[in-house]
Amino acid sequence: MKVLLVDDHAILLDGIKSLLSQEASIDVIGEANSAEQALELLKTKAVDLLITDFNLPGMDGLSLVRLVKKISPNIKIIVLSMHDETHLVKEILREGVEGYVLKNDSHIELKLAIEYVREGKIYLSNNINRIIINSLNFPDEDRLLTDREREILKLIAKEYSNKDIAEQLFISERTVETHRKNIFRKTKTGTLVGLIKFAYANNLI
C-alpha cells in the first residue's frame, strides 16, 4: 500500500514513518509538509492512501481532501487531526474520507485504520465514534451558525467593524448588528473576546 503522509511537523512525519515501517505491507512513498506540496507529489507518484493532518500552513486539510477526492477519487484518505470538535469532524466526514484518527489516539488506532481502509472499509477511531454518537443527541450543534452568520463571524475575525462588514456585504449596518446579536446568542458568548475564542476553537480563523 503506497502511502503519502502530510503534516507540517517533520518530527511527527518521521515518527509515523518509523511506526509504519514496521508493517511490511505499508510503504510510505512520500511526505509533504503542506497541502500544496502534497498535490505536487500526487502528480508524479501513484498513491493508494493519503494520511493528512487538518491544520496545515496555507491550504488546510479540508481543502486538500476536497481536491484529492475530486482529482483522484480512488485515493483513500485518512485524516489525522488533533481536532475533536463535533462540527469539524462532521464537516470532514461529509467529504467522504475513509478514516479519521485523532493525534490523541494511539498508533494502534492508526494502524487499524489503515487495515480497515485497505479492506475497503471505513475506520473512525474510538474517540471519534463517541463524538458522532454524542452528536446524535444534539443534532443542531453542528449547524449552529448559518452560512451568513459564519461569513459575518469570519469578517469580524478579520477585524472588520460592523460598518466595514455592512459595506463589504452590501447590507445595512443594522443587519450586521442583528447577525452579530444572533451569533452571540447562538455561541453563548457574551463578549467579542469570547467570540474570537469560539472562532479559534472551531477553526473559523
Partner DNA sequence: CAACAAACCCCGATAAATGAGGAAATTACT
Partner DNA sequence: AGTAATTTCCTCATTTATCGGGGTTTGTTG
Rule CB under 8 A: is residue 66 a binding residue for its own copies?
no
CA 173, distance to chain mean position in Å, is 32
CB of 175 to its own copies, least distance (A): 20
Binding residue (CB under 8 A) for its own copies from 132, 144, 157, 204? 157
Q: How far is the CB of 157 from DNA (least distance, A)?
A: 12
Q: How many residues bind its own copies (CB under 8 A)?
A: 35
Q: Which is nearer to its own copies, 33 or 145 (CB)?
A: 33
Question: Could you give the string, one character per residue 160-199, with x where binding to DNA holds by CB under 7 A and - elsewhere?
Answer: -xxx-----x-xxxxx-xxxxxx-x-----xxx-------
Q: Is 137 in the site for DNA (CB under 7 A)?
A: no
* Whole-angstrom distance, CA of residue 3 vs CA of residue 18: 13
d(CA 56, CA 34): 6
Among 29, 59, 169, 196, indicate the residue that binds its own copies (CB under 8 A): 196
Residue 12 as a binder of its own copies (CB under 8 A): the answer is: yes
User: How far, rounded to the nearest angstrom, does the alpha carbon of residue 163 sit from its chain's CA centroid?
Assistant: 31
Q: Which residues contact 32 (CB under 8 A, 6 or more apart)?
A: 4, 5, 6, 38, 40, 41
Instruction: State the binding partner of 179 from DNA, its own copies, none, CB within 5 to 8 A by kind.
Output: DNA
DSSP 8-state symbol, 97: -
Considering beta carbons, is residue 15 or 96 the nearer one to its own copies? 15
Buried/exposed code over 121-132 (b: 16+ C-beta within 10 A; e: otherwise):
eebbbebbeebe
CB neighbour list of residue 183: distance below 8 Å, 6 or more residues apart: 145, 149, 152, 153, 156, 195
Any contact of residue 149 with DNA (CB under 7 A)? yes
